Structure 1
Amino acid sequence: MPEKARVRPVDEADLQEKTLASLAPYRDQDGRVYTIWATLAHHEDALRRYLVFSNHVLGKNTLPLASRELMILRIAARAGAAYEWDQHIRIARRAGLSDETILAAATGAWDGLDELDQVLLAATDSLVERQGVDDELWSRLAAHLGVEQIIDVLYTVGQYLTIATVINTLGVQVEGELALDLPRTGPDADQKPDAHQKEVHA
């Protein structure tokens, strides 16, 4: 993750009216367009099209809201995507998830989670690592979900891997302080964060 933004967000004054209209639901409590979307606004046509898909995944998804957020936070933690992590910590808390549950999902400590969330998180990891699931995991998914919901599992993972890639490549910076520290999930997870990580989190 770059220490500074490689691509700066676009000023609203420079955006087309139709882009501003598409971004109307994507503003923070102060009325500012979220940094991720203002950054992607460098390619306005693509952004408007992408927002249609994003709106389905975030707003019309057939998966339970809390379960979907645990999946997204697992992806953000694995990718080290601090901006994605921070935004979805806030959504997850509004969905009623405790920080303890969030951190359990993010770090792989799933034993205390319900069966559906364990299956969804296992599928998330498999899709991140292998871009697919084996027959055993497919059977577990099919025991809990219909085909529509399984497709939404695929869309959710794909969407938020895309966003994590954007964040980490373009250097999208967290807006203010992290709502909850981003856990480390790699092989060196037990080591203390280095100076670079601390700067990214600031």
Structure 2
Amino acid sequence: MSTEYAQRIPETPEESGRLLDKVVPPPHRPPLLYRAMAANPAVLRAYVEGPILGLRGLLHTGQLAPDERELCILRVTARCGAEHEWGVHVAYFGKTSGLSPVQVAATVLGEDADQPWSPRQRAIVALADAMVDMRELSDAELAGIDQVLTVETRTEVVAISAQYLGISATCRALDIPPEPGAPRFPVAAG
């Protein structure tokens, strides 16, 4: 973490410190995003205990396979330029998500001809991209999505995309740098 950024993080209020210890027990260190939000204990509490990220949250519904959930999160955070959140997810969930290293890189760089997405993954990427672009899906995209995703699954992908649009905006607005030790965005060869 840069010294400049470390100096901008305010002292953690006692209430936030207790909450951070509960959510990310020592000796682990909370991500920079959590530390930035800790300046306001009410915001931090709502963020980590609320219906979206709490134990009942979208990260743990079991309705999407781990690779599908992470594909959606990585694509949204990459498209939004939220390198901090993208790197945290690659570091914490990358090895267990089921996505290949080429697929993880493709969330930033675009699809690699040697590792195309499955039709289901392509539908998730299309939904995530439409959310980031704040646009309607094309007829062709809708047809492809209808063939491989149920309405319930589509709704969950949209909800996860919306949540990570907000998280990405937070990372960007607070200028949160990449998490120390987490992967950085890959750079296209060429």
TM range (shorter): 0.7 to 0.9
The count of aligned residue pairs is 181
- Aligned partners of 2:84 and 2:171 also within 8 Å: yes
Partner Cα distance (2:10, 2:139) in 1: 43
**Equivalent residue of 1:94, what SS?**
coil
**Residue of structure 2 equivalent to 1:40:** 37
**Equivalent residue of 1:54, what SS?**
coil
Moved more, 59-68 or 155-164: 59-68
**Residue of structure 2 equivalent to 1:82:** 83
1:49-60 to 2 correspondence within 5 Å? 49-51=46-48, 52=50, 53-55=52-54, 56-60=57-61
- Aligned partners of 2:76 and 2:161 also within 8 Å: yes
Moved more, 87-96 or 134-143: 134-143
Change beyond 3 A, Cα 1:147–1:10: farther
**Residue of structure 2 equivalent to 1:114:** 118
Partner Cα distance (2:130, 2:100) in 1: 25
Q: Alignment partner for residue 104 of structure 2, among 102, 105, 108?
A: 102
- Aligned partners of 1:107 and 1:183 also within 8 Å: yes
Partner Cα distance (1:76, 1:149) in 2: 20
Displacement of 1:182 in angstroms is 0.5
Change beyond 3 A, Cα 1:144–1:41: same
Q: Alignment partner for residue 128 of structure 2, among 124, 128, 134?
A: 124
Displacement of 1:110 in angstroms is 5.6
Q: Tell me the C-alpha RMSD between the 2 structures.
A: 2.9
Partner Cα distance (2:142, 2:4) in 1: 41
Consecutive unaligned residues in structure 2, runs of 5 or more: none
- Aligned partners of 1:28 and 1:34 also within 8 Å: no
1:10-49 to 2 correspondence within 5 Å? 10-11=11-12, 14-16=13-15, 20-21=18-19, 24-25=22-23, 27=24, 30-49=27-46
State percent identity of aligned pairs: 23
- Aligned partners of 1:10 and 1:38 also within 8 Å: no
Instruction: Please report the TM-score for the alignment, with normalisation by the length of structure 2.
Output: 0.78
Say whether 1:65 aligns with 2:66. Answer: yes
**Residue of structure 1 equivalent to 2:186:** 183
- Aligned partners of 2:90 and 2:182 also within 8 Å: no
Displacement of 1:74 in angstroms is 1.6
Change beyond 3 A, Cα 1:3–1:47: same
- Higher RCO (C-alpha under 8 Å, 6+ residues apart): 1
- Aligned partners of 1:22 and 1:48 also within 8 Å: no
Partner Cα distance (2:134, 2:72) in 1: 16
- Aligned partners of 1:67 and 1:120 also within 8 Å: yes
Q: Alignment partner for residue 166 of structure 2, among 159, 162, 173?
A: 162
